[in-house]
Structure 1
Amino acid sequence: MELISSDERNQLFESFAHDAFHLELRDDYSVPNEEGPFESWLAGEDDDDSFMEPWLQLMKRVTDSGRTVRRVRVVTEPHTPYIQWEHATTDLNEEAGESIRWLPRHKLPEGLVFPVAGNDWWLFDNKLLAVGHFDNEGRVLGSEIIETPSVVAECIRVRDLLWDMSIPTNEYKP
């Protein structure tokens, strides 16, 4: 399996035409550039969200051009510290134009099987997947590009199901 880097995956945001959707299934992400800000937040220190600026600028540019970026975060309740921090910073993503919804894991439909081995994924324009792969410590290894129609179709089905049943951030009370 060939993986592309996070920077290469982010380049996909420059070329999609209409909609990008992210399904997040992990309760913790060990992203190196987040470690310091996350630890500071845990310690109750002032938030330094500058590490998010490149992403926020990209999202603003994309959404200002009329394209949509959506996420569903499937989370365990009670939340892990990481998800608490993610919830606390979600307003920055939404101010940049993303639409984010939350779905408590215990409310998933019984028997739902997640496509692509239960990995997180980005779906671009209902035709291209960037499937995230992680190591045993939760660190990002890269993304696998998949364009197989049957796999994409299953991700579209799961996206639509979860989007409809998930809770917008302004209504979600952890």
Structure 2
Amino acid sequence: MLLAQGEAFDALFREAKREAFHLEVRDDYYPPDYPPLVRFLNNEPEDYQWFQPWLDQVRETTNRGVAVNRARVVTVPHNDYTRYAKHVAHLNVEAGEDVRYLPRHLIKPDELTVDDWWIFDDSVIAFTVFEPGENGKWLGGAVTTDPRIVAYIRTVKERVWSMATPLSEYSEP
């Protein structure tokens, strides 16, 4: 596997022809003192300028006719981060991304992966790599096209996506 970072990771989106699909399985991605999360919890205004590069990438990708899909497997009751991510996900949807949620208790642990990943056109996998630690910084994607890994990830993707609820219909059970 090769670690794709920055431009190399972004190229995976530009090279996609049909779909970029992301599975998220963690309940936290930032420490509790992450400024946008703190602003959200304190009901303070946010301009989301820090998020614009991602939203631009989603728009560029979907404008080429490539679907950008995201499934989040979340613990219920939702923690502060999940509530925050769900709030921000409306911006993802406005940019063209389809974001869906699956409560963790509705799927068996052995039907998931323990890692987050992207799959591009059902053929290229980029396992999300974080710095060590519970809230480690995102480092990039460990990329593989190994047919056995791809087949397994496709199975997980299809299972999760079929069970997940679109953001517009999802409410915490």
Using the size of structure 1 for normalisation, the TM-score is 0.90
In the alignment, what sits opposite 1:93?
92
How far residue 141 of structure 1 moved from its aligned partner, in angstroms, is 3.2
For residues 41 and 125 of structure 1, do their structure 2 counterparts lie closer, same or farther at Cα, with a shift above 3 Å needed? same
1:1-174 superposed matches below 5 A: 2-30=2-30, 35-108=34-107, 110=108, 112-115=110-113, 118-134=114-130, 135-139=132-136, 140-174=138-172
Structure 2 residues not aligned, in runs of 5+: none
For residues 111 and 36 of structure 1, do their structure 2 counterparts lie closer, same or farther at Cα, with a shift above 3 Å needed? closer
How far residue 39 of structure 1 moved from its aligned partner, in angstroms, is 1.7
Q: Which runs of structure 1 show a deviation greater than 6 angstroms over 4 or more consecutive aligned residues?
A: none
In the alignment, is the contact (CA less than 8 A) between 1:6 and 1:143 conserved in 2?
A: no
For residues 147 and 164 of structure 1, do their structure 2 counterparts lie closer, same or farther at Cα, with a shift above 3 Å needed? same
Match of 1:138, SS state, is coil
In the alignment, is the contact (CA less than 8 A) between 2:69 and 2:98 conserved in 1?
A: yes
Q: Which amino acid aligns with 1:141?
A: L
In the alignment, is the contact (CA less than 8 A) between 1:30 and 1:138 conserved in 2?
A: yes
How far residue 8 of structure 1 moved from its aligned partner, in angstroms, is 2.9
Mean Cα displacement is larger for which, 78-87 or 3-12? 3-12
User: Once the two structures are superposed, what CA deviation does each residue of 1:2-42 show, in whole Å capped at 9, x if it has no partner?
Assistant: 423255312211111111100000111128xx932222112
For residues 15 and 2 of structure 1, do their structure 2 counterparts lie closer, same or farther at Cα, with a shift above 3 Å needed? closer
Taking the aligned partners of 1:114 and 1:76, their CA distance within structure 2 comes to 14
Percent sequence identity is 36
Using the size of structure 2 for normalisation, the TM-score is 0.90
Number of residue pairs matched by the alignment: 169
Mean Cα displacement is larger for which, 74-83 or 37-46? 37-46
In the alignment, is the contact (CA less than 8 A) between 2:21 and 2:68 conserved in 1?
A: yes
Taking the aligned partners of 1:124 and 1:99, their CA distance within structure 2 comes to 15
Q: Which amino acid aligns with 2:163?
A: M
Structure 1 residues not aligned, in runs of 5+: none
| Cα RMSD (Å) | 1.8
User: Once the two structures are superposed, what CA deviation does each residue of 1:59-98 show, in whole Å capped at 9, x if it has no partner?
Assistant: 1111011110101100001111111001011111001110
Match of 1:112, SS state, is helix
Taking the aligned partners of 2:123 and 2:154, their CA distance within structure 1 comes to 9
Q: Which amino acid aligns with 2:112?
A: F
Taking the aligned partners of 2:152 and 2:19, their CA distance within structure 1 comes to 17
In the alignment, is the contact (CA less than 8 A) between 1:37 and 1:48 conserved in 2?
A: no
In the alignment, is the contact (CA less than 8 A) between 2:129 and 2:141 conserved in 1?
A: yes
